[in-house]
Amino acid sequence: MYESGIEIHLTPASRFVSFSSFFTTLIFILAFIGGVAYRGGLQKLVKLSIRKFNGIAVYRVASYFLSLLSLISLLVYIQEFGGFSSFIYNLDLNRAGLLSDDMVGKFAFVGRFIDLAFIPLIYYLYKKRKTKTELIFLLLIPLVVIIVSNLFISVSKLKFIGLGLIFYFTFSIKKNKLYLTYLFLFLAIVFLGLPILDEVFILAYRVFQSEGILAVPFRIASALLSGSLGQGQYETFLKDSSTNLYLKSVDYFVSGQISLQLSIERSYPLLFFRDFYTGISDLLPSRLNITTGLEVHRLNTSMYYDYYPEIPVLTWGVPPGIIAFGMYSLSVPGVMLTAFTLGYIFRVVDLFFKSIIEIDKGFSAFYAYTIFVLGSYSVSGMPKLVIYNLIILIFLFLFFFVTFKFRIKTSK
């Protein structure tokens, strides 16, 4: 939301709710359930086979290649922004539009491939027997790339949370058990740990600048043990907000609620799901400066505000959430259409993977990652973040056309 007076809607964020938004949410839930239940409950049997080249499984070659590509992309990206000594500072200036284009290397576009590290991790969880080489190249290297990228480049809480959920969903689906105790424990840690994680990003930035990257894990561990994180020592807004840890944590989950309420009480021109085709431009590298005629940089579907004041000025976008996306697109009918479509997609994906898992439990990892992707879209409500995400498109292409072959048979 590009409004100067938006601050009035942010305090107190944890109590920003109305009967209108409640009933809109209820309509969304009912329509979503309708989409899930559409066309009965018959499953489809799937015949699958592993694609091979000269007797070697293609998925092995692909996963090793993507692991090395993500690592190389991370190293090159760091170098293109000034090397280990200054890449974080230059990267933040670049996000704020304060860094000259001449200071950014011509190969900075490889940063788009860093998150490819998620894919070899999924293939590692798929394989039953694991060698030491696979442990290094398909688990350790991807994890290091993801952690370094999240701490210093993308600064993404969702990716850290998603990493844990992928492991949980994989184990739960493979064993066909919910393990609710572990799930509730994980969610409780996430819920109460979000303010802590926010300050971890600031601490990592400071330590990196003053002591180097090797000191970062030790200083973070020390701060966690001392209990100093999450109290506002590194992030001012945590000190100014409620002293109640529960209310501090709730504030992280209400951006979608705020956006929904604003879409109800303010008058905006309907977008008619325009984000679905404007998001295509996100696939093109920005440095190519290609004009597609689809660019709509400031649609009223996100709240933007300055974040992390300790770092050079950044403008971070907070996605609207899936319900507000429907409201901005086509009002209440848009909410119903979005919810029903999303529910139906969940249903199709669920039936497809259940059929595969009946044949091979190893595919639980791919199912888990798909659940995370669909959940991410539900949280964000922005097609360009998921539907046109390069990493997800590569994952789908590899899964369906390169590494495995599927034949669907209609069940009797």
One pLDDT digit (tens) per residue for the chain, 412 residues: 344 455 555 555 555 678 888 999 999 999 999 999 887 655 676 788 999 988 889 999 999 999 999 999 999 998 888 887 778 777 877 766 667 777 777 888 888 899 999 999 999 999 877 789 999 999 999 999 999 998 888 888 888 899 999 999 999 999 999 899 999 999 988 888 888 888 888 888 888 878 888 888 888 888 888 877 777 676 665 665 656 677 777 777 777 888 888 888 777 778 888 878 777 776 766 555 444 444 443 444 444 444 434 444 445 556 788 998 899 889 999 999 999 999 999 999 998 998 899 889 999 999 999 999 998 888 888 887 788 888 999 999 999 999 999 887 655 4
Residue 309 placed within a domain: yes
Residue 1 placed within a domain: no
Q: What is the DSSP letter of 405?
A: E
Residue type, position 398, single letter: L
How many structural domains is the chain composed of?
A: 1
Q: Describe the crossing of helices 87-95 and 58-80 by its angle, rounded to 10 degrees.
A: 90
pLDDT reported for residue 242: 54
What sign does the CA torsion over 57, 62, 67, 72 have?
positive
How many C-beta atoms lie closer than 10 Å to residue 293's C-beta? 6
Two tokens at 10? 């942010």
Give the domain extent around 313. Answer: 6-286+295-410
Give the bridge partners for 315, in sequence order: 306
Burial 235-254 (b: 16+ CB within 10 A, else e): beebeebeeebeebbbbbeb
Residue 248 placed within a domain: yes
pLDDT reported for residue 305: 43
Is 201 within 8 Å of 184 (Cβ atoms)?
Answer: no
pLDDT reported for residue 289: 45
pTM of the entire predicted model: 0.84
pLDDT reported for residue 401: 93
Q: For residue 223, give every residue at least 6 positions away whose Cβ sits within 8 Å of its Cβ, in sequence order, or none.
A: 199, 200, 203, 229
* C-alpha–C-alpha distance, residues 281 and 10, integer Å: 31
Residue 361 placed within a domain: yes
How far are the Cα atoms of 107, 133, 244 from residue 300, in angstroms, in the given order? 32, 48, 32
Residue type, position 157, single letter: K
* C-alpha–C-alpha distance, residues 345 and 368, integer Å: 15
pLDDT reported for residue 335: 95
Tokens 């994952």 sit on residue: 395
Strands (E), 10-51: 44-50
Is 201 within 8 Å of 92 (Cβ atoms)?
Answer: no
Angle at 92 between CA 192 and CA 100, to 5 degrees: 170
Residue 53 placed within a domain: yes
Two tokens at 347? 């249903």
Residue 162 placed within a domain: yes
* C-alpha–C-alpha distance, residues 246 and 250, integer Å: 6
Residue 271 placed within a domain: yes
pLDDT reported for residue 279: 72
Residue 310 placed within a domain: yes
Two tokens at 20? 């209108």
